[in-house]
Amino acid sequence: MNDFNELIGADVTGEERQRLLGVHELLVEAGPPPELPDGLQRGYAFTELRRLKFRYQPRRVALLAAAVLVLGLAFTAGLATGLGNKPSTAAVRQIALKGTTAAPHAEATLDVQKAVGGNWPMTLQVSGLPRVAAPTYYEVWLVRHGKPWAPCGEFVVSKSLSSTPLTFTAPYSLQPGDTWVVTRHTYGQSGAGTTVLRPV
Q: What is the CATH number of the domain that holds 192?
A: 2.60.40
User: In angstroms, rounded to a whole number, what is the distance separating the alpha carbons of residues 198 and 192?
Assistant: 13
Domain, as residue range, for 156? 91-199
Identify the H or E element spanning 47. Answer: helix 38-85
User: In angstroms, rounded to a whole number, what is the distance separating the alpha carbons of residues 96 and 45?
Assistant: 80
Band (198; pLDDT cuts 50, 70, 90): very high
Residue 68 lies in a domain: no
What are the residues whose beta carbons fall under 8 Å from the beta carbon of 192, sequence distance 6 or more?
139, 141, 148, 151, 181, 183, 185
Q: Note if the pTM is more than 0.75.
A: no
Residue 5 lies in a domain: no
Segment 67-86, tens digit of pLDDT: 766 666 666 656 555 544 44
Looking at the structure of the chain, the number of domains it has is 1
What distances in angstroms separate CA 1 from CA 11, 39, 63, one per listed residue?
Answer: 16, 38, 59
Other C-beta atoms closer than 10 Å to the C-beta of 197 total 28
Residue 3 lies in a domain: no
Amino acid at 99: G
Contact between residue 95 and residue 107 where contact means Cβ atoms under 8 Å apart: no
Segment 10-33, tens digit of pLDDT: 777 788 778 877 777 777 777 776
What mean pLDDT is reported for the chain? 77
